Amino acid sequence: MKLKVNSKYKKRDITVYVVLRFLVIITMITQLLRGNYENVFLCILTLVLFTIPSLIDKRLNITLPNALETIILLFIFSAEILGEVQNFYGIFKHWDTMLHTINGFLCAAIGFSLIDILNRSEKFHTKMTPISVAIVAFCFSMTVGVLWEFFEYGMDTFFNTDMQKDRIVQTVSSVTLNPEGKNKPAIVKNIDKTTIFYKEDGEEKEITIVDGYLDIGIKDTMKDLFVNFIGAIIFSILGWFYIKDRDEYKFAEKFMPKMRKSTTL
């Protein structure tokens, strides 16, 4: 695939693209030599995702600000290559949290810009107030976040992955554990270990979880949605100020796609 340089690109953005693409290719070759074919697929997927900004620019006649395009490329690289292939999700405790917060911010920016484009168009007869645009952008971001959690749950359920990362907890509150079967949660505190018995090839085996009980992805999902909420709130407020005074809050424009008035470069 050849990289076509348009006048809208800055040298810095081209450098980021080339460097990230080179790192992905090196990682893919390394994983292929090691026989990690699942990681090879993730590398190929990353290279495909890298082309999305360019496709949006050419096919949809939408200009992505340089800052937004660079962040998107870094986000894809951080999520797929660093997060999945290099296991940054396991090495760095808050890596996933950081990415979901950024995702909430960026999706709100994209949703905000789409509504703002329609709001300023002469063909769009209904004009929305700044607070309405901000609310729609926030809802757009949260919807994307929820759909992603649905995807993670589906992958874990049907393909036995662990995208909803499990956590070790020391306290459990559950009506299922109520010895009398009543609709009143039994609270178990200070869990120091849990033993799981299972059968494999007809042989009974066990796994002991030290220092707690295994939470099956619930806390991870709720944490992801909460930080997505924070990111969406931050940009929605910033966007609201931007609509009220576009000259003073031009910072928001760095994250907002725009329709091109002319396709001539």
What pLDDT, on a 0 to 100 scale, did the predictor assign at position 118? Answer: 80
Per-10-residue mean pLDDT, the chain, length 265: 47 82 97 95 95 84 87 95 94 94 96 85 75 94 96 92 88 92 92 93 91 90 97 96 88 86 48
What pLDDT, on a 0 to 100 scale, did the predictor assign at position 125? Answer: 62
Q: Which amino acid is at 240?
A: W
Contact (CB, 8 A) for 137 and 252: no
- The residues, any chain, with a CB within 8 Å of residue 157's CB and separated by 6 or more, are none
What pLDDT, on a 0 to 100 scale, did the predictor assign at position 11? Answer: 59
What pLDDT, on a 0 to 100 scale, did the predictor assign at position 12? Answer: 59
Residue keyed to tokens 């309405």: 132
What pLDDT, on a 0 to 100 scale, did the predictor assign at position 2? Answer: 45
Residue keyed to tokens 């299972």: 198
Helices (H), the chain: 11-34, 37-50, 52-59, 66-76, 88-91, 95-120, 130-159, 218-244
What pLDDT, on a 0 to 100 scale, did the predictor assign at position 235? Answer: 96
What pLDDT, on a 0 to 100 scale, did the predictor assign at position 1? Answer: 43
What pLDDT, on a 0 to 100 scale, did the predictor assign at position 5? Answer: 44
Q: Which amino acid is at 214?
A: L
One DSSP character per residue, 30-97 reads HHHHHT-HHHHHHHHHHHHHHTHHHHHHHHS-EEPPHHHHHHHHHHHIIIIIIIIIS-HHHHSTTHHH
Residues in a beta bridge with 188: 172
What pLDDT, on a 0 to 100 scale, did the predictor assign at position 62? Answer: 83
Query: Which residue in 101, 108, 118, 147 sits closest to 236, CA to CA?
Result: 108
